[in-house]
Homo-oligomer: A and B are copies of this chain.
């Protein structure tokens, strides 16, 4: 039997999807699809599916935090377009062995994060199956003319990220190590922030909206598959290339010691680590000052310039002013 690769399948599905239809503003190919009209309002929609043992591990993931994360990864897609999340649909495939207590705690986490972000649960489906599969759809509201796509980056634009990278990947590796060795992660209080980054990521909803409204940002997406892969998406969709500066990539102070302990290159964690759910965006050089001024008056003003958009294609990495090397699509694999 010929097996279809995920990439081949996505290509097949994209071929069958419509680029244009009445009321369709953006189809497949960005963090969210966009529908509606400038007059009547524009809606964002995104869906993500999490599978037990593939996307999460109940061995270390407390159900409340997994409930939060199940929603957060979708909220991050809304943030990546500059939108405001509004409505959520939940489809659950539940194995008979799943304990009622676990499910109730998971639902508590879902409820808590929905309340925090002003979202409401409006529908869904519950079915039986052999393994736990969690499918979440989030609908967001967009302010017309302030939606940010992956397509708008231009040569000369500065590449920014909204926060430290590699944290979630290091946290995941620490949990995997503890599970393998049968030890407890409570022995690592110095790496709690990394563990938390994996367990309970915070979608950057407010910053995303602020960036959308700023008028200073040319393209945006969230970092779910790692900086190298996600920046490659922006470059591909914008028809540009990019250069990242290794020394500029922000990280938590504890990442150095964790990388050493894990015997992983810190730079690999920064470039390839997935699931940080920070925002990645581009700003023309003549709008940098304006954006920084706008953000100074907000509680989420810290942003980090990490590279530049150039002519060409792909993602290059420059280390110590050396010759840049190609790191396009060197991202995270579940």
A262 at the interface (CB under 8 A from B): no
**Interface hit among A132-140, A159-167, A266-274, A279-287:** A132-140
Nearest to A103 among chain B residues (CB) is B4
**Interface hit among A21-29, A181-189, A237-245, A308-316:** A21-29
- Give bound CA distance, A1 to B43, whole Å: 42
Q: Mark A13-46, 1 if CB is under 8 A from B, else 0.
A: 1001110010110111000110111011101011
List, in ascending order, chain B residues with CB within 8 A of A98's CB: 3-4
> Assuming the A-B contacts A12-B107, A139-B45, are A54 and B127 also in contact, with contact meaning beta carbons closer than 8 angstroms in the complex?
yes
A334 at the interface (CB under 8 A from B): yes
**Interface hit among A84-92, A213-221, A226-234, A294-302:** A84-92
List, in ascending order, chain B residues with CB within 8 A of A12's CB: 103-104, 107
The smallest C-beta distance from A233 to any residue of chain B, in angstroms, reads 15
B24–A122 touching, CB < 8 Å: yes
The smallest C-beta distance from A89 to any residue of chain B, in angstroms, reads 5
- Give bound CA distance, A93 to B141, whole Å: 28
A122–B51 touching, CB < 8 Å: no
The smallest C-beta distance from A118 to any residue of chain B, in angstroms, reads 8
A123–B46 touching, CB < 8 Å: yes
List, in ascending order, chain B residues with CB within 8 A of A86's CB: 21, 23, 35
List, in ascending order, chain B residues with CB within 8 A of A3's CB: 96-100
A2–B124 touching, CB < 8 Å: no
B51–A127 touching, CB < 8 Å: yes
Q: Mark A40-64, 1 if CB is under 8 A from B, else 0.
A: 1101011111110011000000000
Chain A contact residue count (CB 8 A cutoff): 74
B45–A89 touching, CB < 8 Å: yes
The smallest C-beta distance from A197 to any residue of chain B, in angstroms, reads 22
A111 at the interface (CB under 8 A from B): yes
A128 at the interface (CB under 8 A from B): yes
A121 at the interface (CB under 8 A from B): yes
List, in ascending order, chain B residues with CB within 8 A of A111's CB: 16
A129–B17 touching, CB < 8 Å: no
B130–A28 touching, CB < 8 Å: no
B131–A130 touching, CB < 8 Å: yes
A145 at the interface (CB under 8 A from B): no
- Give bound CA distance, A149 to B21, whole Å: 28
Nearest to A31 among chain B residues (CB) is B123
By Cβ-Cβ distance, the 3 closest A-B pairs, closest first, are: A18-B120, A33-B122, A17-B121
10 pairs, A vs B, C-beta closer than 8 Å: A3-B99, A12-B107, A17-B120, A21-B86, A33-B122, A35-B139, A40-B40, A47-B123, A48-B91, A51-B128
